[in-house]
Amino acid sequence: MKTISVLNQKGGVGKTTISVNLAAALSRKGKSVLLLDCDPQASALDWANARGEVEQLFPVVGCPKPTVHKVVGDIARDKDFVVIDGAPRVTDLSRSCIMASDLVLIPVQPSPYDIWASEEIVNLIKEAMIYKPGLQAAFVITRRIPNTAIGRDVASALETFELPILESTIAQRVIYAESASVGLSVQEQDKKSAAAQEVNALTQEVLSILKE
Ligand SMILES: Nc1ncnc2c1ncn2[C@@H]1O[C@H](COP(=O)(O)OP(=O)(O)O)[C@@H](O)[C@H]1O
Ligand SMILES: [Mg+2]
């Protein structure tokens, strides 16, 4: 079992969007997946509920408690992957999610302000790395305006954190919000879409980081 958490103390950066689509892409590849919703706002659970009659791709379980790292093994014993959708703000919850993880993805929007705001989660991750040497973490650029390069100011702001940045990025696309409103992944909504392709690329990159 490998655990990937999607964390940033800032809200609205795309944690839930990445979590549900990454979980969906992994399950599409034949992996058994559990999506753990650790946000008290329970957006991933809302996403699953919005599916209505459509069969669930994977179970979504709510666990907004700072004991995630202690219980994740029991909750997801038979799964290949656990994807954790993290909470904004709550530090003890984020710390618990980090301790539960093999890989932490940090979504950041390509603006220096957003990158500076990720300092808090980066510090928590670096602290955890002392006790958990195998822990990996990487930034994911989200909500990028299509056909624009990541600005030099953004790249240099990210460099100061000394964590890798995934090559795959997630663009700002209407399909992310549209598919979420009906509880679908972008791949289910339109498997040929640019969004489906970038989610696929992200998933491949995550699998290669985890050597899966
Ligand atoms: N790449 C994207 N393109 C368009 N809309 C997005 C994208 N990522 C997130 N959103 C929208 O922005 C809002 C916040 O995203 P969400 O994934 O819920 O962020 P978080 O979980 O970090 O608070 C949602 O309405 C979501 O549909
Ligand atoms: Mg969320």
Residue-wise DSSP of 143-199: SBPTT-PPPHHHHHHHHTT---B-S---B--HHHHHHHHTT--HHHH-TTSHHHHHH
Which of 10, 17, 184, 185 to mutate to test ligand 1, by most ligand atoms within 8 A of the CB atom? Answer: 17
Its pTM stands at 0.97
CA of 30 to the centre of ligand 1 (A): 26
More confident site: 152 or 134: 134
How much is the pLDDT for 209?
98
Smallest-distance ligand from the CA of 107: 1
Ligand nearest to the Cα of 142, by number: 1
Q: How far is the CA of 5 from the centre of ligand 2 (A)?
A: 12
Q: Edge-to-edge, what's the strand order for the sheet holding 60-62?
A: 60-62, 33-37, 81-85, 2-6, 103-108, 136-141
Q: Dump pLDDT digits (tens) for 57-82.
A: 999 999 999 999 999 999 999 999 99
- Going by alpha carbons, the residue nearest to atom 3 of ligand 1 is 172
Convert the pLDDT of each residue in 2-49 to its tens digit. 999 999 999 999 999 999 999 999 999 999 999 999 999 999 999 999
Q: How far is the CA of 116 from the centre of ligand 2 (A)?
A: 19
Number of domains within the chain: 1
Range of the domain at 118: 2-209
Instruction: Flag whether pLDDT at 112 surpasses 90.
Output: no
Contacts with 73 (C-beta within 8 Å, 6 or more apart), sequence order:
1
Asked if 87 contacts 93 with a C-beta cutoff of 8 angstroms, the reply is yes
Going by CA atoms, what residue is nearest to atom 26 of ligand 1?
177
**Is pLDDT of 147 > 90?**
no
Nearest to 126 by CA among 139, 140, 110, 137: 137
**Which residue has tokens 């549900």?**
20
Best residue among 94, 176, 181, 182 to mutate for probing ligand 1's pocket (most ligand atoms within 8 Å of CB) is 176
Q: Which ligand is nearest to the CA of 21?
A: 1
Q: What is the CATH number of the domain that holds 85?
A: 3.40.50.300
